[in-house]
């Protein structure tokens, strides 16, 4: 375990922890509202650790939807992680099997995006860094879930305190971080168009998978200008 790397990870994960905290509290509040105990809510945050799908899960559970459909919906919302785990493979090949287990368990959107960015900058994606980044988000997620579950009613409407814009803006910042990559504009345009249309015609949560597949397929179909693997990521960044 490298202390400097771990601390670097903690520092990198800190703003994400801040941005995610209101949503942890919101999840806790909604969970209690839908018939969960405080312990159930924290248990779900600890086991699933995927905010959007947890919200979908408790919403469906509260509406007495059949259990298999709840699990399928959670799977659908989280389907994008299949792409993350395929894409991150290049950067975590040196992890031991146990380290990989924890790495996949902690593989949320910002964890993936920041790992990619770190590799692109030529910095090592060490397990120490990865764990520091993941744990500074994971444990506060459990704590804020508990706080939300206890004080649920105090939060009220998230729109009044403006926290509903934090996640989309945060993800927008992550998207901008990749703007120097090849095919960035066509990929973003395809995903944006497809996800907006899918939201309207198919509905949430399918807009995520449909939009993502549109962008990824387009990238695969566009003419290959140069073999991507020949150019080191650092050089492209420069």
Please report, as residue ranges, which positions from 38 to 77 form the binding site for other proteins (by CB under 8 A): 40, 43-44, 47-50, 53, 57, 61, 67, 70-72, 74-75
Does 172 interact with other proteins (rule: CB under 8 A)?
yes
55's CB contacts (< 8 A; 6+ apart) are 26, 27, 30
Candidates 2-10, 124-132, 140-148, 225-233: pick the segment binding other proteins (CB under 8 A): 225-233
Q: Is 135 exposed, middle or buried (0-12, 13-18, 19+ CB in 10 A)?
A: middle
Q: Are 94 and 65 in contact (CB under 8 A)?
A: no
Residue 233: Cβ within 10 Å count = 17
For other proteins (CB under 8 A), the number of binding residues is 96
With 0-12 / 13-18 / 19 or more C-beta atoms within 10 angstroms meaning exposed / middle / buried, residue 184 is middle
- Binding residue (CB under 8 A) for other proteins from 10, 19, 30, 131: 19
Which range, of 3-11, 130-138, 141-149, 161-169, touches other proteins by CB under 8 A?
161-169
Q: Which is nearer to other proteins, 105 or 139 (CB)?
A: 105
Asked if 134 touches other proteins (CB under 8 A), the answer is: no
How far, in Å, are 32, 46, 180, 228 from residue 82 at the CA level?
30, 20, 24, 22
Binding-site member from 63, 162, 235, 238 for other proteins (CB under 8 A): 162
Nearer to other proteins, 128 or 191 (CB): 191
156 sits near other proteins (criterion: CB under 8 A): no
By beta-carbon proximity to other proteins, the closer residue of 2 and 95 is 95
Choosing from 20, 116, 133, 136, the residue that interacts with other proteins (CB under 8 A) is 116
Scanning 1-9, 130-138, 147-155, 167-175 for contacts with other proteins by CB under 8 A, the matching segment is 167-175
Binding mask 80-109 for other proteins (x = CB under 8 A): xxxxxxxxxxx---------x---xx-x-x
DSSP secondary structure string for all residues of 196-235: HHHHHHT-TTHHHHHHHHHHHHHHHHS--SS-GGGS-HHH
* Residue 224 near other proteins by CB under 8 A: yes
Q: How far is the CB of 199 from other proteins (least distance, A)?
A: 4
Q: Which is nearer to other proteins, 2 or 80 (CB)?
A: 80
Residue 76 CA, distance from chain mean position:
14
Contact 155, 25 (CB under 8 A): yes
For residue 92, which phi and psi values (nearest 5 degrees)?
-120, 20
């Amino acid at each position: 375990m490298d202390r400097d790397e771990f601390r670097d990870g903690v520092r990198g994960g800190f703003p994400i922890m801040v941005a995610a905290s209101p949503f942890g509290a919101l999840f806790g509040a909604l969970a209690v509202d839908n018939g969960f105990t405080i312990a159930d809510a924290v248990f779900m945050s600890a086991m699933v650790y995927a905010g959007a799908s947890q919200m979908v899960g408790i919403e469906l559970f509260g509406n007495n939807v059949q259990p298999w459909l709840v699990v399928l919906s959670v799977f659908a919302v989280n389907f994008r992680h299949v792409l993350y785990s395929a894409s991150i493979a290049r950067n975590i090949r040196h992890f031991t099997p146990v380290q990989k287990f924890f790495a996949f368990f902690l593989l949320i959107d910002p964890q993936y995006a920041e790992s990619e960015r770190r590799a692109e900058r030529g910095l090592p994606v060490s397990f120490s860094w990865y764990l520091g980044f993941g744990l500074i988000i994971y444990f506060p997620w459990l704590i804020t879930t508990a706080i939300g579950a206890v004080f649920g009613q105090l939060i009220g409407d998230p729109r009044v305190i403006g926290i509903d814009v934090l996640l989309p803006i945060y993800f927008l910042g992550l998207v901008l971080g990749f703007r120097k990559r090849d095919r960035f504009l066509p990929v973003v345009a395809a995903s944006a168009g497809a996800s907006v249309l899918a939201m309207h015609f198919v509905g949430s949560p399918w807009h995520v998978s449909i939009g993502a597949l549109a962008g990824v397929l387009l990238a695969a179909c566009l003419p290959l200008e140069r073999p991507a693997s020949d150019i080191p990521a650092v050089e492209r960044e420069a």
